[in-house]
Amino acid sequence: MNEKEMKSSITYSAVPEALGGPFVFWGSLPESMGLAAELGFDGIEIFPPGPEFLHQQDLKALSARFGIQVAAIGTGAGWVRHKLSLADSDNSVRSAAIEFLESMLEVATQLGAPMILGSMQGRSGPGVPKPLAKQYLREGLERLDSRARKIGGQILYEPLNRYETDQCNTLAQGSAMIRGLFCTKLLADWFHMNIEEADIAASIHKAGTAIGHVHFADSNRQAIGLGHLTVSPMIEALRSTGYSGYLSAEVFPLPTSQQAAYETIRSFEKYAKPT
Ligand code: LER
Ligand code: MN
């Protein structure tokens, strides 16, 4: 694998509460990694119920056995399972959210993978007007970033579409939110971007090297190629920023997990492999 090329990744979830969500593989992690390896993926993005799950797997051995890296660790279980968010009105819930995220950051860093902050960023609500929600989020990010700096970790902050959060919906808003942090980059999810950005390629270009990870999803959140996104200009924009991170398929397992994985790798090879 050339260090300068983009890398392919597929998602795996071990969170029953997220069933029906945009994750390709479910069930056995070794089997999923085996299938991903057979199809030629470089990495796997793991959505665990909590840090214990990652401690229980011998991920370093699995990685070596299948030749697949851990591309990133998702933290959405903190929200879907434990209802923890960085913008909760209750100080003790915000503290528990930080604690959960710090323990995930610890194990992600041990695995050499970045930790994603998506759903756990929360949103405004009763007792938490929008500016305060943003302030809580920034305070949380600062704390996590300084922890990451100490332990050599990396954080990926993900703007989400308006139906999931009112914190940051675009890459430009996300860039402002993470400004001045040292170990935090943006996660550009093409499903959310298709809803929120006026011009996806231009936004990628503008965010530039702040982008650390991509959720490689089509307009309908299916594998790239199964929706109506015009992919080439988006890949070109990434290329122009020198992006060499993952294109990770956070998509529905439709029509089946195997087919979603197959379509993803086919599209990856078509659009993102240098000719
Ligand atoms: C998480 O990566 C994400 O994109 C959210 O929509 C939660 O699924
Ligand atoms: Mn995403």
**What span, in angstroms and rounded, lies between the C-alpha atoms of 261 and 192?**
20
Nearest Cα neighbor of 100 from 76, 70, 122 is 76
Query: How far away, in angstroms, is 10 Cα from ligand 2 center?
Result: 12
Testing ligand 1's pocket by substitution, the residue of 162, 169, 189 carrying the most ligand atoms inside 8 A of its CB is 189
pLDDT at 4: 84
Q: Is the CB of 76 under 6 A from ligand 1?
A: yes
pLDDT of 130-173, one tens digit each?
A: 999 999 999 999 999 999 999 999 999 999 999 999 999 999 99
Out of 3.90.1150.10, 1.10.287.180, 3.40.50.1110, 3.20.20.150, select the CATH number for domain 7-271.
3.20.20.150
| Res 214 pLDDT > 80 | yes
| Res 2 pLDDT > 70 | no
CB 124 within 8 A of CB 85: no
pLDDT at 274: 74
| Phi/psi-derived region of residue 216, left when phi > 0, alpha when psi is between -120 and 50, beta in every other case | beta
Query: How far away, in angstroms, is 89 Cα from ligand 2 center?
Result: 25
**What span, in angstroms and rounded, lies between the C-alpha atoms of 250 and 255?**
14
Stretch 182-205: mean pLDDT:
98
pLDDT at 69: 98
| Res 232 pLDDT > 70 | yes
Q: 6: pLDDT confidence band, cut at 50, 70 and 90?
A: very high
Stretch 109-128: mean pLDDT:
98
pLDDT of 14-57, one tens digit each?
A: 999 999 999 999 999 999 999 999 999 999 999 999 999 999 99
Nearest Cα neighbor of 111 from 150, 141, 68 is 68
**Residues noted as catalytic:** 158, 250
* Proportion of the chain above pLDDT 70, given as a percent: 99
Q: Is the CB of 164 under 6 A from ligand 1?
A: yes
DSSP states of 114-162 as a string? -EEESGGG---BTTB-HHHHHHHHHHHHHHHHHHHHHHT--EEE----T
Stretch 116-131: mean pLDDT:
98
Question: Would you call 126 exposed, middle or buried from its count of C-beta atoms within 10 A (0-12, 13-18, 19+)?
Answer: exposed
Taking all residues of the chain, what is their mean pLDDT, rounded to a whole number? Answer: 97
pLDDT of 236-274, one tens digit each?
A: 999 999 999 999 999 999 999 999 999 999 999 999 987
pLDDT at 110: 97
Testing ligand 1's pocket by substitution, the residue of 47, 116, 156, 160 carrying the most ligand atoms inside 8 A of its CB is 160
Whole-number Cα distances in Å, 91 to 82, 97, 117? 15, 10, 19
| Domain range list for the chain | 7-271
Helix (H) or strand (E) holding 171: helix 171-178
Which distant-in-sequence residues (6+ apart) come within 8 Å of 109 by Cβ? 115, 148, 151, 152, 153, 154
Which ligand has the minimum distance to the alpha carbon of residue 118?
A: 1
Query: How far away, in angstroms, is 251 Cα from ligand 2 center?
Result: 9
Two structure tokens written together for 22: 């945009």
| Phi/psi-derived region of residue 274, left when phi > 0, alpha when psi is between -120 and 50, beta in every other case | beta
Q: 1: pLDDT confidence band, cut at 50, 70 and 90?
A: low
Stretch 90-117: mean pLDDT:
98
